[in-house]
Amino acid sequence: MRTLLIIKTGTKIPSLQDHPGDYGDWIARGMGWSLDQVRVVDVQAGEALPDAGSIAAVAITGSGAMVTEQADWMVRTAHWLTGAVDRGVPILGICFGHQLLAWALGGHVDYNPRGIEVGTTAVHLTDAAAGDPLLSVLPKAFPAQVSHSQSVLTLPAGAVRLGWSDMDDHQGFRFGERAWGLQFHPEFDERIVPHYVEYYRQRLAEQGLGADDLLRQVRAAPESEGVLGQFGVLVRA
C-alpha cells in the first residue's frame, strides 16, 4: 500500500512540549491513517523527498518559518510540489504549507497587511466551495483555529478561491482537481490554539489587540477538524 507523505516544515512551539505529538501526528490522526502508513520527511532539516509516484497523498505542515525567506529547502520543496501537482497527487497544504503550495504554483505570499490572525475565527466559504470535493461537506460558515502572520495575498493563476475570514481573503483554495491549501489549522483543537495566542501576546499588543480577549473567544471547531477526515476519504476513494 502506498503511504501518506507528510512534508514536515516545522515543529510545535516550546510551550506545547508536554502536549503529545507534533503537526504530523495530529494530521495523520485526523486523516485516519495509522503510523505504519505514514512517512514523515523533515525538509527543513534537509531530508530528501521521495518520488511523487510512490505515495498516495501529501500533507504539508505548518511552520514558524516564513515563505518570504525563500530558503533553499523551501525552493526545493516548492519545485517538488509543482511536479506532484502535475502528476495529480492529492495534496493538502496547511497554514505555512498552504502558503508554500500557493507560492510554488505562482501565487504571492507576504506579511498580512491586516496583521496577525490567531485564535478561533469564523471561516466563510465561497459559492465555489459548494461543488468542491473537500469543503462541500462543511456549512457555509464555521469556526476554525488559526495562527499566522503571513498570508497568500494573490492566488496562483487558475486557482479557485474557496474560503475567507475577516482577517484573510484566502482561507482556502484548490488548484486543479486534487491540490488544496488551507490557511486555518484543521489539526489544531481548542487545547492547542491558546498556546499560539500566548506566543503572539506581545505582537498582538503592538497591533492594539488583546490576547486575553482572543483567549476568551477560543472554542471547539469540530467542522474544520473534520476536513482532515474528508481528505482521508478522498485519497482512499
Asked if 211 contacts 119 with a C-beta cutoff of 8 angstroms, the reply is: no
Q: How far apart are CA 9 and CA 6, in angstroms?
A: 9
Q: Which three cell numbers stand for residue 137?
A: 461537506
187 is catalytic: yes
Closest CA to 182 of 196, 171, 197: 171
Q: Which three cell numbers stand for residue 235?
A: 485519497
Segments in 87-130 forming alpha helices (H) = 96-104
Task: Indicate which residue of 148, 170, 187, 225 is catalytic.
Answer: 187
Strand order, beta sheet including 38-42: 38-42, 3-8, 55-60, 91-94, 179-182, 172-175, 160-164, 117-125, 141-148
148 is catalytic: no
Task: Indicate which residue of 98, 148, 185, 225 is catalytic.
Answer: 185
Task: Indicate which residue of 95, 98, 148, 170 is catalytic.
Answer: 95
Pairing of strands 55-60, 91-94: parallel
185 is catalytic: yes
Rounded to the nearest 5°, which phi and psi values hold at 53?
-75, -10
Q: How far apart are CA 152 and CA 112, in angstroms?
A: 8
Strand partners, 204: none
Where in the sequence numbering do the catalytic residues fall? 95, 185, 187
